[in-house]
Structure formats: structure tokens, C-alpha cells
Structure 1
Amino acid sequence: MTWNGEELDVDAYLARIGYEGEAKPDLETLRALHRAHVASIPFENLEIMLGRPVLLDLAALQDKMVRRRRGGYCYEQNLLFAAVLERFGFSVKGLGARVRAGASSTRPTSHMLLSVEADGEQWHCDVGFGGDGLLEPIPMREGVDVRQGEWRFGIVGEDEGVRVLRTEHADGWFDLYAYTMDRRLPVDYVVMNHYTSTHPKSPFIRRPVLQQAAPDVRRRLVGAQLTLTRPDGSTDERDVPVSELRETLVREFGIELGDDDFAELIRAHYAGA
């Protein structure tokens, strides 16, 4: 199996995301699993902040995100999800994307997403993009325009087979990332992960980043700033003092760090705050 789905602890994963329905390789199951995963497992880069490598083998992913109930970033989340889908009989293809998200220059291919076949069609799946990400799959074709909860998403085509996932902001469409249909294998994500977790220009090595999307609000903690964004463009922003950080991680993102890890996070990234 490409994604090592045979190594998955199915019952533990389903309990982690609160899924109780039948699991079979159809669109209804795909949508339900995607939505439950996004709702339960937040985007976060805290392993990097704690000075540890980001491990991508399935045993490590299950230990972190399932057993210890932590989150992860795109490779961790989508590799786990790919293993889940493969185990349930879906055909899963890994893809790579260049994140745009307001960038003024071309970024490297450093994001992972999935193409999944269900009910005779290819579906764009991505449980690892964070606050602006999809809640559930959308058809993987140009011209798609869908609503998920209060959010609107679309896919447009560009030259050379490039497709762009975008979301609607209060001031218009906002490009999230651009991708092609070139297949990526697990070993490709090892290389991408090394860049994302260690390169000086990576946005994920400088400060804690936690994100989660819900039907009516997007939550983001970058450094000490917590932002809640609603579909009408309104935001609530505030700085989180160190005295409230641990409670905020639990309340907003469901992340409970052990005493040693929390102390190290404060020492390394919030000292003097």
C-alpha cells in the first residue's frame, strides 16, 4: 500500500475524530471523514517550536495526532488521512502545491493535498491547510464554485495545467494555492517536510502557528496574536498573555501540552513576553 493504511489503528482514529458511521469507499463517507477530521485535529507547528523533528512515518503520526491528541501541519495531517482513506478502499493520489495566500513572489512547491476517487469522480481533499482550508472535499475540476458552511471555495484553471484553489474573502476571491495533477509519493513529502521544518525562509520555523476552520469561524494563533475571522470579514484580534496561553491552546484548538513541553515552549518563544 502506498500510504501504509494496513498499519492504521482504525478504531483509535475514528474515536479521535468522533466518527461513528459506516466507513466505505463512497462520497458520503469521504465527506463525513474529511469534515470530522478538520473539526477534530488542528493545524499546528509546535514540534518545530519545541526543537524536535517532524516525523512522517505512520506510527509517529498516529502516536502524535491520535494517541496524544495533538495536531499537525499539512504533511502530517494529509499523510494520516491518506492512510485512513486507503484502508477504507479509496484510490488516493498525493499532489503538491505552491502556496499563494497573499504572497508577492513565487513560492516553492511545499504543500500537500490529495486527489481521491469517489462515486466515479476525483475529489480535492485537504485536511492540512489550516484556517482558510476546506471543510470537506470539492470536485477536482476547473470552474467549481461551492459553499461549505458560511465559506465559499472555487477552483480556476491557469496555463500549463495549473489549478488554483481559492476562497472568498469580504473583498473578493483570494488564492490559497496552485497545483498540478503530477503524482507525488511519500518520499517527495519527506523532502518538502525537510525544507518546511528547517529552512530559514520557511514561515513555520519562526513562531508558533495554530489554525482551525469551522463552519462559522476561522481561528488562528500566530505568535501571541489570536485572530477569529468570520465570513463577513469581521475579525476579533487580541494578544494572548503568557498567563492565558495554556488555556487558549486548550479552548481554541483542543491542544493540551505536558508540563515540560509547555515550559519549553514558553522558554523558547515567549520568554520576556
Structure 2
Amino acid sequence: MKTLKYFSLAIFASFVMVSCAQKPQSDNAEVSEAQEVEEVSASAGTYGLDLSQSELMWNGFKPTGQHYGTIAIEDGAIAVENDEVVGGSFTVNLNEIDVQDLEGEDRDKLTGHLKSKDFFHVEQYPTAKFVITDVNSYSGTTASTEENDNMAVKVNDEEVSEYKLENPTHMVTGNLSMRDTTLSITFPAQINITNDQVTAEAKFNIDRTKWNVSYNDEGDPVRVAKDKFIYNTVNIGFDITANKGNQPQAPASEKTDG
């Protein structure tokens, strides 16, 4: 997988756990120790990410509400062989985190806090990385919620479909690196491959504290009693498009004439 480094979902970064409403009912990413990354065959085709059509979304929650936004995908590519994804990598620029539910001074304040040591600590860790290690057909099973009851809470005791991926086709496994911590995550995704393009979509929950993002976590008994904590659960979503043989394309907002 030398040609495809750093598939940053962070997603992840997604990990913007400053949030606020009860946690969403969604598929929970299975987390384990980092896995070995195998080198992709030289015969695999490379599909460069089109950044103008690719987006990573985050939702964070606490008992009184939620915050949501996006994080810019900096670069990435997907490797395909025999009409199957066999590798890939993405890098997320955590300096480009965006809060979309606030405006003005409140938006600037929250954005600054997310970049601080309490959350992403972007001065020391400016990017998050995700590298694919395995992709399999979806079998109808996902990570169990029984292992972590905190990840299984529904919004107002009802499942909210907007946080859950419909009709997944594959299970994706990869190493997520953030704040000097690398762990393997597995989550459902919907992947479509044509001769010239790959599209992929995913929605899943992740526990931010596993990557040492523990500000106001729900294990603090004082904050739990006062209902002032932030849920450990963060909902991550991404919608990406990659084109065969292309280098990652800059977003339209960054392109200039001439």
C-alpha cells in the first residue's frame, strides 16, 4: 500500500466531539489494535480523490443538543483491482474544521476550541490519517453495541435514520491515526465502482476517548451529575468520489483562473 498512504477519515476527524442532543443510533465502528498494511499490487488501478465532490462530516452530542460540521479532506486515493477496492488512503486537515450550526462569534469560539489541546491539538497534530487494510462484502453484521452500552443510546429513545447508512455493500477496515494514536476501525460502507470512478459513503459512531480526546467525557461523575458532559460518541460520515488515474482534485473554491 506504498502508493496510497494516509487515508484519513478522521474521519474522522470527524471526531468533533463538541457536541450537544442525545447520541445517535448508528452502526458502531469496531475498534482494535492497528493492523499490518499490505502493499498494493502494481497491477491495481489508482483512483485519485476528487476533493470538489468529497466531504467528511461530523456530529457531536451532549444531553442538551448537538454541534455538527465538516473537516476538509486534504488528499487521498483508492486502489482497485478486478472491480474490488484493495487499498486506499486519505488525509484530513484538522486545521480546516468547520462548525456549521453556529454563526459569528459563537462559531469562531467553538472552532478555536476544537483546534485547541482539549480536542484535536492541531498545532502539534495538524492531520488525521486513515489507511485501508481490508475490504469485504457486507454480511449484515456490524460491531456489537452490547460491548459498550454508551454507544447504543438512541435519540429520544428512537432510531434516527439520518445517522445510519442505508443499504451498505461492504465492510471497510483500516488504521485511523489521530493525536499520536493509531487503532484499527471497521465500519459499513456503500461502495460503487465503474471503469472510471469510485464512489463511497459511510456513517458510523466512534468513541473519541480511544484517541485521547477526553475533554468533558461522560465518565466524569461530577459532570454526569450536572448533565454538563459531552458524549464520548461521535458520528462520522463521509461521501467521496475518486476518478481513475487522476491526482486528487482541488476544491472549486481553491481553483483560480489562469
Q: Which has the higher helix share?
A: 1
TM-score > 0.5 by shorter chain: no
Question: Which structure has greater strand proportion?
Answer: 2
TM-score range, shorter chain: under 0.3
Q: Under a length normalisation based on structure 1, what TM-score does the superposition of the two structures give? A: 0.22
What is the TM-score of this pair, normalised by structure 2? 0.23
